[in-house]
Structure 1
Amino acid sequence: MILQSLILSLSLAAAANPASTPAPVPAPSPITASAPPSSSPDAPDTRPYVELVTNAGTIVLRLEDKRAPVTAANFLRYVDSKRMNGFKFYRSTKSWGPYSALIQGGNRGDAKLNYPPIAHEPTNVTGLTACKGAMLMARGAPGQATSDFFLLLSDVPGFNADPAASGDNAGFAVFGELIAGADVVQKIYDAPTSPTAGLGVMVGQMLEPQFTITTARRIPAPADAPKGCVVKAP
């Protein structure tokens, strides 16, 4: 139910904000599982790290570019082109309670800043999971994700793909996780929201004021980066 409500709310957000409405895309291919890439525990960490400087503080993210290459490359394209500079964190789902907690960010301005929609990478294929701290792409239908993403403040297993479920069972594409700045994410989540802005289930979830990503850039891997939770144990 939470997954269906969130998908609906993302569709409503796109309708309310033409700047983030993706172009039509062909129907996605059926979900098929494949073995995730393997790596030695002693291998150097070559995954990309990104620093988001916001007016609430600094957030550091690690991208799983080997397991979710399409989604990670899309995010890095916005970072490297500087298009992410000026994007907003504009939504907090604290009205849904502590078990489906997230903040959402993305392009809330010029539609020309959006790159074309990307192919969906479901969690049953990537071997990633929607745990607390995970970063996922927001979408309407699978294959419609562009610039919007969210960070989880709780485990939300219902966001994982479930090919055995009926309806939209593709889940959301996990492609990285929060490495530093959990206090900043919490600050954004706890910030005031408008009682009237938004449509449908999003009413009461639109941050007022919004938080601006002033600078997004790649950084070297921190020496003390935690192992994290998005990569499922074998």
Structure 2
Amino acid sequence: MDRRTLSLTLLLSLLAAPALAQTVEAEAAPVAAPVAAMVAPQAREHVVLTTSAGDIVIALDPAAPVTSANFLRYVDDKRFDGTDFYRGMVIAPGMGLIQGGANNAPNRILPPIPDEPTSQTGLRHTDGAVSMARYEPGSATGDFFIILGDVPSLDASASDPGFAVFGHVIDGMDVVRQILAAPKSATEGEGFMRGQMLDPRIAILSARRLAVTVADPR
């Protein structure tokens, strides 16, 4: 598969992802404040995702302030608690992505946020990068994916807006690899996503800010 075909396959499959239906037993979400009211993180914040496969620690990047602030709102409102990683896309040996989050559940999602492309932030889809799933640019809400390996075809280019990186995993890549390798349904999912749906899902038990600074190995 050449780079152009790989890029198209990835883009189409990722764009479809937030449309998946999910039944969630949760209280109705409070009315969300407008995007302009978000308080962008002024320093690097850290979030730990406690999953049924283990913990994943994410460092958010101030270079993507709107996207990072949006992710923190989901964390602080506990909107990720009780969701899951529902997708594992293997691109090549040692390369792929796992995707999880609100899965378009109406009682979890907040209004979409403006796009922060990699051409603007300088961030890249390298190993451990955390990025937003969405339809067209400016439609991201509460679904995100974590990259394994380097996938530059997801970065912005002159002809492609790409996807918005907003952080990277600093601890727990072994958990990410375990999730990617988890069993998948042969029949669930539509179009490009058939065969990528985790079965069973990997639960996101909680998502919390870390009160202490975590050393970044990068």
TM-score range, shorter chain: 0.7 to 0.9
Match among 126, 131, 142 for residue 131 of structure 1: 126
Match among 76, 80, 84 for residue 80 of structure 1: 76
Match for residue 146 of structure 1? 141
Instruction: Give 3-state SS (helix, strand or coil) of 2:12's partner.
Output: helix
Match among 101, 107, 112 for residue 96 of structure 2: 101
- Paired with 2:207 and 2:170, the residues of 1 have a C-alpha distance of 15
Residue 142 of structure 1 aligns to which amino acid in structure 2?
Answer: P
Are 1:49 and 2:49 matched, yes or no?
no
C-alpha displacement of 1:111: 1.4
Match among 175, 181, 184 for residue 166 of structure 2: 175
CA-atom RMSD in angstroms: 2.0
1:13·1:199 contact (CA, 8 Å) conserved in 2? no
Correspondence list, 1:15-34, <5 A? 15-17=19-21
Q: How many residues align?
A: 196
C-alpha displacement of 1:3: 3.2
- Paired with 1:102 and 1:71, the residues of 2 have a C-alpha distance of 19
- Paired with 2:142 and 2:21, the residues of 1 have a C-alpha distance of 13
TM-score normalised per structure 2: 0.84
Higher strand share: 2
The ranges of structure 1 where at least 4 consecutive aligned residues each deviate by more than 6 angstroms after the TM superposition are none
Instruction: Give 3-state SS (helix, strand or coil) of 1:112's partner.
Output: coil
C-alpha displacement of 1:13: 3.3
In structure 2, do the counterparts of structure 1 residues 202 and 70 end up closer, same or farther at CA, with 3 Å as the change threshold? same
Structure 2 residue runs without a partner (length 5+): 24-41
In structure 2, do the counterparts of structure 1 residues 126 and 106 end up closer, same or farther at CA, with 3 Å as the change threshold? same
Match for residue 24 of structure 1? none
- Paired with 1:11 and 1:160, the residues of 2 have a C-alpha distance of 14
Are 1:8 and 2:3 matched, yes or no?
no
Tell me the percent identity: 48
Greater alpha carbon shift after TM alignment, 169-178 vs 6-15: 6-15
Instruction: Give 3-state SS (helix, strand or coil) of 2:209's partner.
Output: strand
C-alpha displacement of 1:6: 2.8
Residue 52 of structure 1 aligns to which amino acid in structure 2?
Answer: L
2:104·2:142 contact (CA, 8 Å) conserved in 1? no
Residue 213 of structure 2 aligns to which amino acid in structure 1?
Answer: A
C-alpha displacement of 1:61: 0.3
1:9·1:199 contact (CA, 8 Å) conserved in 2? no
C-alpha displacement of 1:46: 3.1
- Paired with 1:170 and 1:100, the residues of 2 have a C-alpha distance of 21
2:18·2:133 contact (CA, 8 Å) conserved in 1? no
Instruction: Give 3-state SS (helix, strand or coil) of 2:174's partner.
Output: helix
Structure 1 residue runs without a partner (length 5+): 20-44, 228-234
C-alpha displacement of 1:100: 4.6
Match among 169, 179, 183 for residue 192 of structure 1: 183
Residue 127 of structure 1 aligns to which amino acid in structure 2?
Answer: G
C-alpha displacement of 1:14: 3.7
- Paired with 1:147 and 1:52, the residues of 2 have a C-alpha distance of 14
C-alpha displacement of 1:174: 0.5
